Structure 1
Amino acid sequence: MARYEQQRQFLKSNFLEFKHIKTDKIKGVAQPPVVKPFDPDSQIIDLPKVSREVLRNGNMFDCIDQRRSTRFYSAEMLSLEELSYLLWATQGITGMNKNGLTLRTVPCSGATHTFETYLLIMRVEGVQEGIYRYLPTGHKLLFMFELEQMEQKVDAITLDQPFVPNFAKKAAVLFAWSTTPYRSEWKYDISAHKKILIDVGHVCQNLYLSSESIGAGACAIGIYDQKLIDEILGLDGEEEFVIYLGAVGKKRE
């Protein structure tokens, strides 16, 4: 039982301790960028404007009621319009507040937005198979590189899934959300890490509901090879690392 105690403390609010800490924000340290920089000469895809036309079910009650973790996918591809919608639903920018902080489709503690969305794209119409990153400012897709033996790599990343082995490689897209913890640590110090985990839950639930609304299915993946996925995406594993995965594909009848 003792081995659980430290982790259980992590789940609790530490506000009384936190309020006595002088955070980097209070110290006047510059806020870290909330979007990872990129080479403007990279191959960038303008995503289609988000439209209700991609919806197959616009009834929120039905989407919540019918939401399930989907591990069986058809060979049908996602359209680029559908992918555009899923990216908007999970990290899309919908406005900006008076302090210049981005407002998005998901709640986030203090608008710190520690996440980057990487995509292992396997079956999207008109899009080359490979590794991409979503650029929420401008709603664009950044092509990073091709990945040889994509399905085998996805298998290796997602390890032995307990219910349906090897299901992730049958998805159309594997979402990989990384976190850059200092974006939140700058403002929340020791309270940042609980907030990051709460916030990524908001993101993945939006993926579930938006997938359901276009006739697709999603499945969150918390069991994965941390070192391998970080290495594939070129992350250092310390200042930025993958925190959650989500597979998406059209449902198999």
Structure 2
Amino acid sequence: MTRYEQQRNFLKSHFLEFKHIKTDKIKGLPKPPIDKPYDSSSIIIDLPKVNENVIKEENIYECIKGRRSTRFYSEESLSLEELSYLLWATQGITSTTKTGLTLRTVPCSGATHTFETYLFIMRVDGIRKGIYRYLPVEHKLLFMFELDEIDQKIDAITLDQPFVPNFTKRAAVVFAWSTIPYRSEWKYDISAHKKILIDVGHVCQNLYLVSESIGAGACAIGIYDQKLIDEVLGLNGDEEFILYLGAVGKKRK
């Protein structure tokens, strides 16, 4: 069992050790920004205001009971209103504290919110195919670039899926959540990394449930080519890297 020891220890709480560490927050170092900057000349897309009109299943019990990892999608596009709802439900800001902490639709350790949401968009009404980034403070989309042969690139990134090969490229949208670890390390030092993994699970579970509520299906993806997806999105793989993916599409009838 020794080959598992290091990873099992990672899963445990090390709070007593953490209590004796002088974190960067305690040292008075500047708090990292809550979101990434972008060029003022960038193409910004306004997202519709989130409302309940997109919801087809209002009963949370039914959403939880019906939740499954969906790997078969129809050719139907998501509406921009539905995408706005999915983004708000997974990283949307509901209020901001006097100290500048953002309170969101998902729980997060110490409101550190280390995640950035990138989107591989294939089928959303009124939106061209390409790579986008969600701007939670403004609740807007930042267009990053078009990606030649986007479906083939998604295939290469998501490697050999064990149950339904090549299913990811058939989704309407693929969510790719990166982490900027220092947002949590600044406050939690060596205990940050376990918290980040816990927190990204909250994000993806919300994606499952809200997808169910609009008649769509989601599937979490933990098998992917780390180096390739970081390169495609222009991430350096150290200060920021992709942590988790989720495919979403309307269910095939």
Match runs of 1:49-64 below 5 Å:
49-64=49-64
CA distance in 2, matches of 1:34, 1:24: 16
CA distance in 2, matches of 1:40, 1:162: 42
Normalising by structure 1, report the TM-score. Answer: 0.99
Matched, 1:125 2:125: yes
CA distance in 2, matches of 1:232, 1:131: 9
Question: Could you say which residue in structure 2 is the equivalent of 1:138?
Answer: 138
Question: Could you say which residue in structure 2 is the equivalent of 1:154?
Answer: 154
Provide structure 1 residue ranges, at least 5 long, that are not aligned to the other structure.
none
Q: Residue 115 of structure 2 aligns to which amino acid in structure 1? A: F
Question: Could you say which residue in structure 2 is the equivalent of 1:179?
Answer: 179
Q: Residue 242 of structure 2 aligns to which amino acid in structure 1? A: V
Cα displacement string for residues 194-252 of structure 1 (whole angstroms, at most 9, x for unaligned residues)? 00000000000000000000000000000000000000000000000000000000000
Provide structure 2 residue ranges, at least 5 long, that are not aligned to the other structure.
none
Aligned-CA RMSD value:
0.4
**SS of the residue 1:25 aligns to:** coil
Question: Could you say which residue in structure 2 is the equivalent of 1:207?
Answer: 207
CA distance in 2, matches of 1:43, 1:49: 19
Question: Could you say which residue in structure 2 is the equivalent of 1:67?
Answer: 67
CA distance in 1, matches of 2:20, 2:4: 27
Q: Residue 4 of structure 1 aligns to which amino acid in structure 2? A: Y
Q: Residue 246 of structure 2 aligns to which amino acid in structure 1? A: G
CA distance in 2, matches of 1:124, 1:46: 14
CA distance in 1, matches of 2:38, 2:109: 25
> Percent identity between the aligned chains?
79
Q: Residue 25 of structure 1 aligns to which amino acid in structure 2? A: K
Cα displacement string for residues 146-177 of structure 1 (whole angstroms, at most 9, x for unaligned residues)? 00000000000000000000000000000000
Matched, 1:90 2:90: yes
Normalising by structure 2, report the TM-score. Answer: 0.99
Q: Residue 145 of structure 1 aligns to which amino acid in structure 2? A: F
Structure 1 residue 98: deviation in Å?
A: 2.4
Matched residue count: 253
Structure 1 residue 138: deviation in Å?
A: 1.1
Cα displacement string for residues 130-152 of structure 1 (whole angstroms, at most 9, x for unaligned residues)? 00000001100000000000000
CA distance in 2, matches of 1:223, 1:100: 35
CA distance in 2, matches of 1:104, 1:150: 31
Matched, 1:3 2:3: yes
Q: Moved runs in structure 1, 4+ residues, more than 3 A?
A: none
